[in-house]
Chains A and B, each alone.
Chain A
Amino acid sequence: MDRRFPFKVLEHIFSFVDSNEDRNSVSLVCKSWFETERRTRKRVFVGNCYAVSPLKVARRFPKMRSLTLKGKPHFADYNLVPDGWGGYAWPWIEAMAARRPLLEEIRLKRMVVTDECLEKIAASFRDFKTLVLTSCEGFSTDGIAAIASTCRKLRDLELRECIVDDLGGDWLSYFPETSTSLVSLDFSCLDSEVKLSDLERLLSRSPNLKSLKLNRSVTLDVLESLLRRAPQLVELGTGSFSDELDPEEIAKLTKALSELKQLKSLSGLWDLLPEYIPLLYSVCPRLTSLNLSYATVQMPDLIDLLSRCSKLQKLWVMDLIEDKGLKTVALCCKELRELRVFPSGADLDETDVTLTEQGLVSVSEGCKKLESVLYFCVQFTNAALVSIAKNRPNFRCFRLCVMEPFAPDYRTQQPLDEGFKAIVEKCKDLRRLSVSGLLTDKAFEYIGVHAKKLRMLSIAFAGDSDLMLHHLLSGCQSLKKLEIRDCPFGDTALLENAAKLETMRSLWMSSCFVSFGACKQLSQKMPRLNVEVIDEHPPKTRPDSSPVERIYIYRTVAGPRLDTPEFVWTIHKSPEVGVSRLSIR
């Protein structure tokens, strides 16, 4: 008797399986499930663009409609990865263009995207709808113009914090007069001015536009005219909010803002002047997301604004909010799920503000739905961490940056071990954690023991010895991404827990005590890991005991990559070869 499900039945069942993790599990069951799953997967996610070859992905998923890729390691955001490291989108675009012309969506993060890539996308995918580039670089406004002009069905064009060679605002005029499909447009990271008339016309003919994020050079005096043409907006990122407006203009703008009945998310607000805050009163009660992290507004004005935002779920703000402002948030924003508090001062101790651990404690007390936090603070205490953990065991993401390296609990002078212990003990669902402050190996023992669901961990200036790494690699079952800088451990733990590394997406270590010999051993021991050494000033001779400045280790089925720059070496698998740099330009 044939016990197998017919393909059609399986296919139908799998259509209900959305999450890629589940789909990955499904495809491991047996060959026919693998086949069925791969033929039905529409959204493909590759967390490390070097983990698998573009060709393989293109071949495996014939029905692919959406591709999401991530390139550089996360610490590239903080200048720890030299320019030219890699993460090129071109091989992927090329492969997909040749084999998957029905691809509709491309989302890239921390990758190098050139104008050629963008032109290729425009030319190859006739139904192309969505381009989202986050923290990408390497392209100019010419490439954007190509997308705008050629993709007839373009719905989403979002450039989030990209580094773009800005050749002027003309690109906007390349949207054909016939294009009416735009749903979201984000050009907030561009510098130059776009022509107002182009923008007005585009808005007028885009009735489906839900999300608009302007750049800073869109001045306040023209905002009203834009909003009038797009009252259906759900997300608005303003331009600069600081021009002098006369009373009539203010009145008109106030009215235009109040007409945005669907508006849920507000951002931009560069240079927000306190006297313009009342203009926002009308939108506050509906807001679920507010990004004030570029608004250098002081605490009293922030309180003024936030006390009206009772539905707020996501708040990004600078430390100008101070403890007092966060108290207000705790009182008024009962729906808050995500809070990020960024430092306003450029330097380590230039916090001119009364933001202490108290602020976060208040929010953890008052906002019962809070589950994600990013908090920059000069110093912290164990007591505060314990309170926070007790108040909010529902944290999924907890990132605390005590800005002073090695800062202990400033009241007791103890390391912050006990505080973070409380966090990982109580918050059983913790997925992402960043630790800071003075921490000994004990802290990492606690993390290893308790943080069973932890997937991503970031560590800087912490620990005493190899034990620290050992605790983490042997304890944290779900760990997928680990990034470490300036910690005093080295070879032993790394080699002992080598097998663990194949269960993880990647491990980054910089300014630690790892030796070259250990890297070689690791690479030879683990065939499916790429062990890459980043060394901008390589020595003439490299004895085994010599320290390695930065290493990036990731699992891959694609073998060593072929596009390494001169400062990256992939440790070869074969002992005789040592290091190799395979490079094809």
Chain B
Amino acid sequence: MTSISEDSDKEKMRSVSVDLNNDASLVIDIPDALCERDKVKFTVHTKTTLSSFQKPEFSVPRQHEDFIWLHDTIVETEEYAGFIIPPAPPKPDFEGPREKMHKLGEGESSMTKEEYAKMKQELEAEYLAVFKKTVQVHEVFLQRLSSHPMFRKDRNFQIFLEYDQDLSVRRKNAKEMFGGFFKNMVKSADEVLISGVKEVDEFFEQEKNFLLDYSIKIKDATAKAEKMTRSHKIADDYNHISGALNNTAADNNTAFKKHLEKCAEVFEKLRKVEDRMASDQELKLTELLRYYTRDIQAAKDLLYRRARALADYENSNKALDKARLKGKDVAQAEENQKQCLQKFDKLSESGKKELTSFKARRVVAFRKNLIEMTELEIKHAKNSVSLLQGSIEILKSN
């Protein structure tokens, strides 16, 4: 069981949320979360001045599945088709640290107490970091919704925020899971089909090309960044080296011992710095890329919906032509064609707005994160430098 509460650290953790909570009329955060086995229970805290809520401030317990439910209902809502729907938070994944914890338990006998304690501490820190990150992405999801002029008024969203019982949303059963999978297949096939539809708007044509390209690149960059941060095991090695040095020193009683101990100390300190470096890189860089991989997918989904609408409109045009030719059901076809056109126009209009704001949001987020990461890198490197300088001096002096 792990539980975190809001602390100063959290501000830093909120890597992706950029100016989302600037509207004071609906402020949402997750001050607390509880992890039980696979389930994470988030406490969703809301402060609002909107009259649609019964109380100005309230907290409700929510699980990851509730978030997914909320996301799905929004996606399925026809009238939101013209918006970029905030990507659903990924499922909490504690497999990494848990597996390591398991390995640690197995290897307990083969290492010294200090080493074990240090490893455990490290793992707990890692676990906590994953936990915090999980809370953060869930929070960001809600904040994106709350900061959107339409989504914030969504009925389901308000229920999600306000209903003080368990939502106890039904888990997707196997059929639905398969249905979802099937839908995705159809969608992909459809995407290919309608890609042949001639784009009428240059803006969308550009956006489409950009997003397609960008999504491939960012996916790749994310994978590479993940790989890079994963291979940042230097801290672990430092830890082992420090332990081994201490062991070597323990059996010694010459001047040698002092050097070894000092060296072990340096490595231990470096380990901490290196650890922070790695986790900050993960948080500021990898997490940013990850989020925008999802967000770009959401933007692509918007383009798909619009393209679908365009295809529908063209089909309705054809149908109308056919109807006119046959002189049959012309009114119905006209009606249908009108509706399609309306829908398409609406989608195009809101889509344009959404995509433009998305671009701005992305640039701001990248800027913020890159600056923060750079500053942290500099900070950590400076820490290391002063640490090393001090140690070298001490070593040299004796």
Partners in one complex: no
Q: Which of B's residues lie within 8 Å of A, judged by CB? A: none
Q: Which of A's residues lie within 8 Å of B, judged by CB? A: none
